[in-house]
């Protein structure tokens, strides 16, 4: 996830079409994950209800990825990485209400610390300042967390590589049909702008999602598994500061990062 976040910011900052970029990365992410099929026992279950859920979930992920990539294009990697941690609040709520996971005081305290770190990042001169990019990221985070709950429910019916491969391919088709401007010309323009390196971005995300599904299939609680993504936070913030020269408000970013990491560790320990 860290490599994915950095590559998007490096390639898309101040250039490129985020919608076309999302389609290309999603398509190649889906193709890449299908290469894992020979290394898993293939399991699946298809009926009318499951097919409808797969279609709706793919559409939800399409909108989520469009929002995420546009937000990452507009905002610094370090800011995006911390704002994404607001999803831990929704993971706690959803894990309790949907999956009947235990709601303990330690979980509440841990998530509160994470949310505090995220609020610190958008607190500016005694008020919360939200830019267009931050709105996109917050909305995308909510959609991603909700979609992940469905992922956890659906993952019991499929092997991880087949399931995520199908979702990525269906999502790419949806993006191409309904969201892509000028279709093939837009794809050609994006390849000319970024080069073949664009092909490796999607597999970074699809592999991250593959391992997320494997975590769910191994019995991990949603309220604990999703916050593990926070481990990419430290790397993303530091990499943004060091490699992308995102030097504004460094003390605030570091404090927010530390708070989020403390909250994440508490979630796993207790």
Per residue in 75-125, pLDDT (tens digit) is: 877 677 777 767 767 777 777 777 676 777 887 888 788 778 767 766 666
The string of DSSP codes covering 22-50 is HHHHHHHHHHHHHTTGGGS-------HHH
Distance from C-alpha of 34 to C-alpha of 168, rounded to nearest angstrom? 10
Q: Mutual orientation of helices 132-154 and 87-97 as an angle, nearest 10°?
A: 30
Q: What is the mean pLDDT of residues 175-184?
A: 87
Give the residue-averaged pLDDT of 147-172.
Answer: 90
Per-residue pLDDT at 245 exceeds 80: no
Beta carbons of 70 and 62 less than 8 angstroms apart = no
> Do residues 226 and 88 lie in contact, with contact meaning Cβ atoms separated by under 8 Å?
yes
- Out of 164-178, 202-216, 231-245, the most confident range is 164-178
Q: What is the mean pLDDT of the chain?
A: 83
pLDDT at residue number 240: 75
Per-residue pLDDT of 46-55, as tens digits, reads: 999 999 999 9
Distance of CA 128 to the CA centre of its chain: 23
Q: Pick left, alpha or beta for residue 125 (phi over 0 → left; psi -120 to 50 → alpha; otherwise beta).
A: left
Locate the domains of the chain by residue range.
Answer: 2-269
Answer for the pair 147, 57: CB distance below 8 angstroms, yes or no: yes
Letter string b/e over residues 51-89, b meaning 16 or more CB atoms within 10 A of that residue's CB: eeebeebbbbbbbbbbbbbbbbbbbbbbbbbbbbbbbbb
% of the chain residues with pLDDT over 90? 33
pLDDT category of residue 61 using cuts at 50, 70 and 90: very high
């Amino acid at each position: 996830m860290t490599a994915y976040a950095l590559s998007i910011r490096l390639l898309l900052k101040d250039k490129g079409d985020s919608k076309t970029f999302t389609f290309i990365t999603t398509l190649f992410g889906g193709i890449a994950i299908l290469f894992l099929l020979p290394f898993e026992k293939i399991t699946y279950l298809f009926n009318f209800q499951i097919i409808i859920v797969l279609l709706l979930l793919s559409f939800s992920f399409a909108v989520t990825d469009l929002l995420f990539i546009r937000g990452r294009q507009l905002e610094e990697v370090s800011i995006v990485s911390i704002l994404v941690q607001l999803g831990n609040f929704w993971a706690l709520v959803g894990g309790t209400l949907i999956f009947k996971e235990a709601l303990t005081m330690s979980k509440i305290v841990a998530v509160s610390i994470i949310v505090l770190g995220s609020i610190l990042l958008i607190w500016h001169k005694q008020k919360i300042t939200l830019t267009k990019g931050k709105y996109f990221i917050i909305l995308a985070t909510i959609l991603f967390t909700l979609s992940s709950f469905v992922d956890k429910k659906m993952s019991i019916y499929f092997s991880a590589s087949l399931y995520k491969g199908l979702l990525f391919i269906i999502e790419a088709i949806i993006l191409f049909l309904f969201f892509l401007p000028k279709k093939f010309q837009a794809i050609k323009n994006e390849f000319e702008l970024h080069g073949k390196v664009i092909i490796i971005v999607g597999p970074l995300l699809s592999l991250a999602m593959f391992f997320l599904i494997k975590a769910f299939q191994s019995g991990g609680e949603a309220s604990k598994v999703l916050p593990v993504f926070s481990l990419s936070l430290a790397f993303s913030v530091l990499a943004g500061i060091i490699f992308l020269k995102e030097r504004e408000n460094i003390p605030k970013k570091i404090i927010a990062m530390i708070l989020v990491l403390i909250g994440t560790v508490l979630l796993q320990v207790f």
